[in-house]
Amino acid sequence: MIEGKKVLTGVKPTGKPHLGNYLGAIKPAVEMGNTAKQHIMFIADYHAINAEKNVEVLHRAIKEIACVYLAAGLDPKKTIFYRQSDVPEIFEVATILSAFTPKGFMNKAHAYKAAVDKNLAAQKPQDDGINMGLYTYPILMAADILTFDTDIVPVGKDQVQHVEIARDIAGAINAVYGKEILVQPGYVADDKIAVIPGIDGRKMSKSYGNVIPMFEDDKVLKKAVFSIKTDSKPIEEPKNPDEVLVYEIYKTIAPADKVQEMADGLRNGKLGYGHVKNMLLDAIIEKTAKEREVYNYYMAHFDEVQDILAEGAQKARGIAKQTLARLKNAVLGF
């Protein structure tokens, strides 16, 4: 679906991911770099200041997310990787887009509407605590996308509307000037993405507090794995693997023969919950050892990451300058 296409993904700097979003979203996104015609991943740092004003927290989150993507195997030769704030052309594009964006689009955008609904539910004034960055963030996101002539944006369901707004803004500009100045992007929604259960059996998610971390040390990892919900059946009691949460999680990461081994052991009363938790812990450590090593390396040698991001920004600006020139010429004639 993405062969021969220009693909772009923005990543919010929210710090170290857990096993669920690492395997379900980050890894597959990085792999797109192998098939896309042009693959761009950027850290949406100026978006993040709408919500995070603590500079230490934000700075650390930006560092962590950059290292996570490199640990996931992002190859800067295949993927243009940069921080949004290093590409000033994006913000100039955003200014131009604003003039073509009906205010009503912003009123209807999910992120803003959700914030308003929360205020109203708490009996506060509707715009309480809402800044203009949040209100107009679909315009900046449209600029992130349109600046790079993006064909496809891989998105979670919550972001589909924002890509549609970008598409509409590009369409409006093309209609005003009677030619294709901006590429109208499409999206692929990630509904096929593997959902990894968390330690309480619900989808693994930071907001449920049920995550298995993967970039923490072994002790923290062990604590999470040993908190996975079980019943109190003794070792020798035969257990149906499909009712054992540890097994459900194991299935998503262990090789087939090991999965079979765990299923058999549970069924015939040879394995208890302590055993299967240790097997899961070993599997996670084995599966993530390389990534954790690379992650720790880059966190300790962040100057190398800075160089990679600076080089990415140079490449991104090369493209961005061309789009901006085209757009300026269309609207100002210069």
Can you give the length of the chain in residues? 334
Q: Taking the complex as a whole, how short is the minimal distance between the CB of residue 66 and ligand TRP, in angstroms? A: 15
Of 161 and 230, nearer to ligand TRP (C-beta) is: 161
Q: Taking the complex as a whole, how short is the minimal distance between the CB of residue 247 and ligand TRP, in angstroms? A: 32
Burial of 18 (0-12, 13-18, 19+ CB in 10 A): buried
- Measured at the alpha carbon of residue 331, what is the angle toward residues 176 and 48, in degrees to the nearest 5? 95
Q: Taking the complex as a whole, how short is the minimal distance between the CB of residue 35 and ligand TRP, in angstroms? A: 18
Q: How many helices (H) does the chain have, and how many strands (E)?
A: 15, 5
Q: Taking the complex as a whole, how short is the minimal distance between the CB of residue 78 and ligand TRP, in angstroms? A: 18
3-class state of residue 15 by DSSP: coil
Strand order of the β-sheet with 38-43 is 79-83, 38-43, 6-11, 152-155, 186-189
Residue nearest to ligand TRP (CB): 10
Q: Taking the complex as a whole, how short is the minimal distance between the CB of residue 296 and ligand TRP, in angstroms? A: 26
Nearest to 155 by CA among 113, 190, 106, 197: 190
Binding site for ligand TRP (CB under 6 A): 8-10, 12, 44, 47, 141, 144-145, 153, 159
Of 44 and 244, nearer to ligand TRP (C-beta) is: 44
Of 69 and 273, nearer to ligand TRP (C-beta) is: 69
Of 110 and 290, nearer to ligand TRP (C-beta) is: 110
Of 110 and 223, nearer to ligand TRP (C-beta) is: 110
Contact present, 39 and 75 (Cβ < 8 Å): no
